[in-house]
């Protein structure tokens, strides 16, 4: 009986795969074509950045996975990123593959498989699925409470709901939650920039006119808002104004009076844009000399010594600096910026679990910050990128 069900499911899946071959390709809209073009450019930029070592291999893989996910989402809307091969030869190959693959898989499964044995990966991830279910239920309960509030629900509640949806990847729902409060008198520049962030994420990285309006309003309320500046630069670059976008990012970096957690992503984005318009590569050292009272950095003699080290010795030297920062935070656990620096350091080393732990500590400390402070948004973005790496 089980085998009959498996064969039936295989037949249904094969049918669903082959049916589109009989249909004519749908006409692609100008907007979706533009989205695909931009995402394809972003994919090439990530590959180029990785080759030039502007970003780490882990960061490149995470970015490529996210961009390909968005391309797949556009495919599912009926907008293929490339023209499908025409002619009977291409169709015959697909038909043959569609028929032979299930047969080959079935033959292999009869030798190696056992339907009575539960999936180990499935069992191992049960706790993760339970946690996700719990978060979904809590988000639904919060939504119901906010919507039933006769005065519309507190702004903090809607922003918390939006942040939860962003972590869950439900970007359209996050945008809808923030939309409830953007026109309230207590809306801040951070409120508008978070609204823009959710809109951009929901549109697969495209800055739509609605998102652009939110960005401009955020900058009008607070010209120093780094999140609004970042998305304004993305909008300018997407509109073909790469030089202006680069200048905007550099100007904001120059205006920072001390090292800030958002500087890294500004520099990466500025270098991506700068490469396409012939600008010199930037580094954090150009804008963020070590601030007084911050975690101790390498001395001049340390830098000179590191230059003469082997790759293995240099890696050990860097790790010793990270360990010193971790040791200092063990005695000063309330240092929010320190935890953010530690999280970023672990990301550079490719230690995603340690980075996630550090950013989680920072997220807890950032919960009491005022809504216009950009650090919570930087932490959420870092955690989202780490979650994408798995």
Do the Cβ atoms of 350 and 58 come closer than 8 Å?
Answer: yes
pLDDT in tens, 143-164: 898 889 898 899 998 998 898 8
pLDDT at 319: 74
Rounded CA gap, 95 and 55, in Å?
41
Mean of per-residue pLDDT scores for the chain: 75
Q: In terms of Cα–Cα distance, which of 380, 26, 383 is closest to 174?
A: 380
Q: In terms of Cα–Cα distance, which of 40, 372, 382, 390 is closest to 206?
A: 40
Q: What is the DSSP letter of 16?
A: H
CB environment 111-147: b (16+ within 10 A), e (fewer): eeeeeeeeeeeeeeeeeeeeeeeeeeeebeebbeebe
Max mean pLDDT among 4-18, 25-39, 287-301, 321-335 falls in 321-335
Q: In terms of Cα–Cα distance, which of 248, 240, 270 is closest to 38?
A: 240
> Is this structure's pTM higher than 0.85?
no
Q: What is the DSSP letter of 54?
A: S
Do the Cβ atoms of 178 and 211 come closer than 8 Å?
Answer: no
Lowest mean pLDDT among 323-327, 360-364, 368-372: 368-372
Query: What are the respective helix, strand and coil percentages of the chain, to the nearest 5?
Result: 75, 0, 25
- Inform me whether the pLDDT recorded for 304 exceeds 60: no
């Amino acid at each position: 009986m089980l085998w009959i069900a498996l064969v039936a499911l295989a037949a249904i899946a094969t049918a669903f795969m082959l049916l589109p071959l009989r249909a004519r390709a749908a006409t692609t809209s100008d907007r979706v074509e533009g989205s695909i073009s931009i995402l394809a450019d972003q994919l090439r930029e990530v590959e180029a950045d990785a080759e030039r070592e502007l970003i780490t291999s882990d960061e490149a893989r995470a970015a490529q996975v996210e961009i390909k996910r968005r391309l797949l989402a556009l495919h599912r809307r009926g907008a293929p990123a490339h023209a499908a091969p025409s002619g009977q030869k291409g169709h015959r190959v697909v038909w043959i593959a569609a028929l032979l693959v299930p047969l080959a898989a079935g033959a292999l499964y009869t030798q190696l498989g056992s339907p009575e044995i539960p999936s180990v990966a499935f069992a191992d991830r049960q706790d993760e699925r339970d946690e996700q279910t719990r978060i979904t239920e809590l988000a639904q309960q919060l939504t119901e409470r906010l919507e039933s509030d006769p005065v519309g629900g507190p702004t903090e509640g809607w922003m918390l709901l939006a942040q939860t949806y962003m972590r869950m990847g439900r970007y359209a729902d996050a945008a809808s939650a923030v939309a409830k409060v953007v026109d309230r008198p207590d809306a801040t520049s951070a409120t508008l920039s978070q609204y823009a962030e959710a809109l951009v994420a929901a549109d697969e990285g495209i800055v739509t006119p609605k998102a652009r309006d939110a960005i401009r309003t955020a900058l009008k309320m607070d010209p120093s808002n780094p999140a609004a500046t970042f998305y304004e630069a993305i909008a300018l670059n997407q509109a073909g104004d790469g030089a202006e976008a680069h200048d905007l990012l550099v100007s904001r970096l120059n205006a920072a009076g001390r090292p800030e957690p958002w500087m890294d992503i500004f520099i990466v984005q500025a270098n991506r844009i700068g490469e396409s318009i012939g600008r010199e590569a930037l580094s954090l050292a150009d804008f963020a000399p070590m601030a007084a009272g911050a975690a101790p950095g390498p001395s001049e003699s340390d830098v000179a010594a590191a230059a003469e080290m082997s790759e293995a010795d240099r890696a050990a030297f860097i790790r010793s600096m990270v360990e010193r920062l971790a040791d200092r935070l063990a005695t000063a656990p309330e240092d929010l910026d320190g935890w953010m620096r530690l999280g970023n350091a672990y990301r550079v080393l490719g230690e995603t679990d340690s980075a996630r732990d550090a950013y989680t500590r920072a997220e807890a400390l950032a919960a009491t910050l005022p809504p216009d402070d950009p650090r919570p948004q930087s932490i959420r973005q870092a955690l989202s990128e780490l979650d994408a790496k798995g």
